[in-house]
Structure 1
Amino acid sequence: MKTLKILGFSSLLAAGLALGSPAAAQPYQTADDVQDLALIYQGGSHRMDWTVDEFRPYVVHEFADGTKDWLFDGFLFLEFKNGSGRHYTVGYEKLNARKGEWAWLLDRIFEEGKSLSALDACITEQIAELGKPGFKHQIVLGLPEAILDQKDWGELDGRTLDFSKEEDQLAATRWYIDELMKRFKAAKYKNLELSGFYWVAETNNYCGQLTVPISEYIHSLGKLFYWIPYWQSKGAEDWKALGFDVAYQQPNHFFNHSIPDSRLDDACAFARKHGMAMEFEFDEKATADRENSSYARMKAYIDHFEKNDVFNSSALAYYCGNRGVLTLHESKNPADHALMDRLARLIQMRRYMKYGLPFKNETKVVAHRGFWRTEGSDQNSIASLLKADELGAWGAEFDVWRASDGVLVLNHDGVHDGHVVQNTPSTVLTTLKLANGETMPTLDEYLAAAKKTKIHLVLELKPHATPEAETAAAEATVKAVEAAKLSKRVTYITFSRHAMVELIRLAPKNDVLYLGGDISPEELEKLGAAGGDYNHGVYLKHPEWLEYMKQHGMISNIWTVNHPVDMIWAMRQKIDFLTTDRPDLFLQLTDK
């Protein structure tokens, strides 16, 4: 049987330490096989034919800048009804599908030039342009529900089946699974791999425990069993006991404008509580120009899934309606393309997290205030330094102030427990507690701990009240670093022009970088700075500044980049160093 795994940073989520994420009972779920599973409604006579042209925007996304990349790595083929009055699960038509309708659906799935055949051909077409994707596209195939008490399904092995008997329900389902397996194998698709099967009934109101023996049969074939229960569906919290390997929670928010966006948070909380994955929902109504448009509702999914750390840590299924991705692709409105670009960047990031970067990374990561978003740590604590080193970050950034008695201490905001740091003696400051139980460290204590590590030290000297105070702080800082014999491992950064000039004077062999966006690299070069340590927004506003630094051999750093999509952007720009509160996510991207 195929196995499941949880992403490496899921322990952070379980502890409630993920960026922007509330505390969770356990992590979301993710599967080895499929990261991003697109739902393809195919088979019924009321559906469009899925040919190469229809599949193309699902297989590869073209961004606004003209670049292309692979999109979904998995496809779920499912159907609820045949389009002629019979359904494959309870609630869609008046009549139940019989063996003939089941066989007809099989033929539709394996129709040459359409469905699976077209998807395989589309991937082959795109490989010719993009090269091999580095992964095999996974396929999940829907299973009709052998509806309880149905007596007109038909014959199997010369016997009329009666679905009031579980053994007959199982016999029909096994027959269908066997046919799917046999035909998939015979098709010899070049780019598709069969991951498993999907239970089309979105609740177990009618099927009871039938899924348990079905699951056992699927597992005997080495495949997985998938399910996507609707919001507050019966049995959703018992998905494991029902035999499913992967279960995605539907928020059912997109379709009804009266449902508040808080439903998305509630669905995420439910999924975390029960160890489920999430479903992302949109359809053709997401286009901005459409009357009664649901554009804002699709955007809400992205916003709330980012807030709840879904994209970083959950397997995802994508309900796209009948042709949602295709409709956004065909739209003439730039807003629609921007929205789909945003989602595609997230899917791209997720793929890089799983399969590795498709380009060589030269950017090094600096843990902002140390690695503090983890258990037992806090900003500017000695624990955050040691945990950044243990994590494997290239550097650890930390903030230095000069207390009123001249002692240097670590603190970011300049105020702690009501005490203004530069106006308070160290005898008071070093008794104040950090969130992890440590007391505020002195620079000497921090440097002593750093001597036991190999990590590079990025020392930010904070702006003080007067130029004289900054000069005194700079002199004391450089002296402390030299006394600890750590000069070769220190880079100095600051927001103060005066402090920068002083650090350049006092430590001419060290790299000194400026943090503000008000001085160009050209002026920094004249002042003797080694480079610019600019905010992400500054680089976007002044792309020529990065080019200048590259041409003049200056150092570039970018702060504070916490979103993996932005990390990927910085790496593609070949920025030298990236400062982040989430060095774990950066290393998840790069350590493949």
Structure 2
Amino acid sequence: QFLYFIGLIERGSIRRMRAVLFASLLAVAFFDGLVAGASRSSGPFPPGTTASGGVRNMALVYLDGRSLPDAHDSTFHFDAAKFERLVGYKPAGASRAEDALFDGTLLIGYDWVDGKRFWPGVGKPLNASDWQAISALWRTQGLEALSNATRAVNADLNTTLPNVKLYVTIPYPDRRQQHFGDAFSTCRGGAARSLNFSVDADRLLATQCWVAHIIHDWPTLPGVSMTGFYWFLEDMPSGDEPLVRGVADFIKAIPTHGEPSLKFTWIPYYNMAVHEAHLWRSLGFDFATIQPNVAFNDCDPATRFAEMEHLIVGTDTGVELELPLAVRNPTFDHNATRSFDAYYEAALRYNWTGRAGGSRARAVKTFYYGNAFVEMATSADAALNALYVKIHDLVCDVGESCLRFA
């Protein structure tokens, strides 16, 4: 989803580009069953399990520099009214929610201020003050707005839905940042000191302290359960494995006082996943979904989705449905509706979603991305409104109500 290949070109990283090409070639080996370590009959990862914290369908919501008061992109300014279109099914023209919708929300970002980006190597790296500001933004436009939305949707439906499962992104500790600051350096009892992300121990400390900060400093609000954390980077650079395992161990060691343990999840992109996604359990993740990248890459949709089905079965993972309003695959002539329909048809063909009177959904799903879905619901364009109706199909199963999960 992030402009990965563009980033590679901008950085002149020929080595990384060759690695991506090599990953593509490995896909052939994978689908012939030649990649060691991938069970061929274990998946896909089912919805609503303890390992996912109960998540069946989780919407990514982007809150970042474009969400700040002086930014002028309404897509990224979030409030309770917008979350009502994600927690509940509230189609165009409706004054009240008509059904439940997503049971999970993932807070994430990409752009920041002053040319900074969450993605390493694209723009300038974030520092401790940026991480603090991101936390404040996600708390207000994320957690608090989401809680208010659940209250409104419950009132509309005259019921009390299960709490929305909230996952919070862990910002990536970019190795270029050697003067991070001291705001996330004391959670293990040491003295405050400025961290240097060229040092592995400092990268681990900062990410662990981010997790501790979210758990201990964010309030517990009605209608929302802090369920876990998301590892931001969609690939696994050499040397990051111990970092990720260290974060996973830290998350799992946090006391939850009788509540379910906190979870850790990941959404790798397709070319990375074909040769490393089977390692997700060994890295400490509780579950993972894989991006098909059909909306963004020059690939044949039917072939890629068939490969995706094989991949998620072989790696015991779920699937991400990428349904933005801007697509880059030339197969679709930059038409988002055509791209959406290709994902929709694949989800039904492979039973990633289900049908009334037929098979139930087989796979846990993440959805890229909630900001666009709100636009679909509120647009004056009837064609976009129709896509929001199909979002309901994908989440609740065609012809079904999500209230059956309540």
Within 2, Cα distance between the matches of 1:357 and 1:119?
19
SS at match of 2:241: coil
After superposition, the C-alpha distances for 1:279-331 in whole angstroms (9 at most, x for unaligned) are 00111248xxx99422011111111121112121111000027x211221123
Contact 1:231 1:250 (C-alpha < 8 Å) held by counterparts: yes
Contact 2:264 2:287 (C-alpha < 8 Å) held by counterparts: yes
Within 2, Cα distance between the matches of 1:100 and 1:27?
41
1:195 positional shift: 0.6
Within 1, Cα distance between the matches of 2:205 and 2:322?
34
2:195 paired residue number: 161
Within 2, Cα distance between the matches of 1:355 and 1:29?
22
Task: For 1:162-561, list aligned pairs within 5 A.
Answer: 162-184=196-218, 187-205=219-237, 207-221=240-254, 222-233=261-272, 235-256=276-297, 259-285=300-326, 292-311=334-353, 312-320=361-369, 323-349=371-397, 356=404
TM-score relative to the length of structure 2: 0.73
1:215 positional shift: 0.2
After TM superposition, the structure 1 stretch with the greater mean CA deviation from structure 2, 348-357 or 57-66, is: 348-357
1:354 positional shift: 8.7
- Specify the code of the residue in structure 1 equivalent to 2:120: V
After TM superposition, the structure 1 stretch with the greater mean CA deviation from structure 2, 297-306 or 231-240, is: 231-240
After superposition, the C-alpha distances for 1:464-505 in whole angstroms (9 at most, x for unaligned) are xxxxxxxxxxxxxxxxxxxxxxxxxxxxxxxxxxxxxxxxxx
Bigger fraction of residues in strand: 1
Q: 1:65 to 1:354 in 2, by over 3 A?
A: closer
SS at match of 2:284: coil
SS at match of 2:397: helix
1:256 positional shift: 4.2
After TM superposition, the structure 1 stretch with the greater mean CA deviation from structure 2, 246-255 or 66-75, is: 66-75
After superposition, the C-alpha distances for 1:225-276 in whole angstroms (9 at most, x for unaligned) are 0100011116323111111111110000013465433212212211111001
Within 2, Cα distance between the matches of 1:37 and 1:351?
20
Counterpart check, 1:79 vs 2:109:
yes
- Specify the code of the residue in structure 2 equivalent to 1:124: R
After TM superposition, the structure 1 stretch with the greater mean CA deviation from structure 2, 256-265 or 50-59, is: 256-265
1:101 paired residue number: 130
Q: CA RMSD in A?
A: 2.8
- 5+ unaligned residues in a row in structure 2: which ranges? 1-38, 186-190, 255-260, 354-360
1:77 positional shift: 0.1
Within 1, Cα distance between the matches of 2:136 and 2:174?
21
2:42 paired residue number: 26
1:132 positional shift: 2.7
Counterpart check, 1:40 vs 2:43:
no
Q: Which of 100, 120, 123 matches 1:90?
A: 120
- Specify the code of the residue in structure 1 equivalent to 2:322: E
Contact 1:81 1:92 (C-alpha < 8 Å) held by counterparts: no
Q: Which of 52, 66, 83 matches 2:80?
A: 52
Q: 1:91 to 1:267 in 2, by over 3 A?
A: farther
- Specify the code of the residue in structure 2 equivalent to 1:198: Y
2:90 paired residue number: 62
1:147 positional shift: 2.3
Q: 1:86 to 1:342 in 2, by over 3 A?
A: closer
Bigger fraction of residues in helix: 2
- Specify the code of the residue in structure 1 equivalent to 2:345: D
Within 1, Cα distance between the matches of 2:304 and 2:120?
26
- Specify the code of the residue in structure 1 equivalent to 2:58: L
Q: 1:132 to 1:251 in 2, by over 3 A?
A: same
SS at match of 1:237: helix
- Specify the code of the residue in structure 2 equivalent to 1:247: A
- 5+ unaligned residues in a row in structure 1: which ranges? 1-22, 359-592
2:11 paired residue number: none
Contact 1:27 1:275 (C-alpha < 8 Å) held by counterparts: yes
Aligned residue pairs total 327
Within 1, Cα distance between the matches of 2:404 and 2:82?
28
TM-score relative to the length of structure 1: 0.51
Within 1, Cα distance between the matches of 2:400 and 2:206?
41
2:25 paired residue number: none
- Specify the code of the residue in structure 1 equivalent to 2:104: G
Within 1, Cα distance between the matches of 2:57 and 2:65?
24
Within 2, Cα distance between the matches of 1:137 and 1:299?
27
Contact 2:162 2:223 (C-alpha < 8 Å) held by counterparts: no
Q: 1:354 to 1:57 in 2, by over 3 A?
A: closer
Larger Rg belongs to: 1
Within 2, Cα distance between the matches of 1:107 and 1:64?
31
Q: 1:132 to 1:183 in 2, by over 3 A?
A: farther
Contact 1:203 1:230 (C-alpha < 8 Å) held by counterparts: yes
Contact 1:137 1:191 (C-alpha < 8 Å) held by counterparts: yes
After superposition, the C-alpha distances for 1:348-400 in whole angstroms (9 at most, x for unaligned) are 23997997467xxxxxxxxxxxxxxxxxxxxxxxxxxxxxxxxxxxxxxxxxx
Q: Which of 95, 116, 119 matches 2:146?
A: 119
Within 2, Cα distance between the matches of 1:68 and 1:241?
41
Q: 1:355 to 1:127 in 2, by over 3 A?
A: closer
Within 2, Cα distance between the matches of 1:105 and 1:70?
28
Contact 2:376 2:385 (C-alpha < 8 Å) held by counterparts: yes
Within 2, Cα distance between the matches of 1:85 and 1:262?
38
Contact 1:253 1:261 (C-alpha < 8 Å) held by counterparts: no
- Specify the code of the residue in structure 2 equivalent to 1:154: G
Identity of aligned residues (%): 21
Within 1, Cα distance between the matches of 2:385 and 2:111?
32
SS at match of 2:165: strand
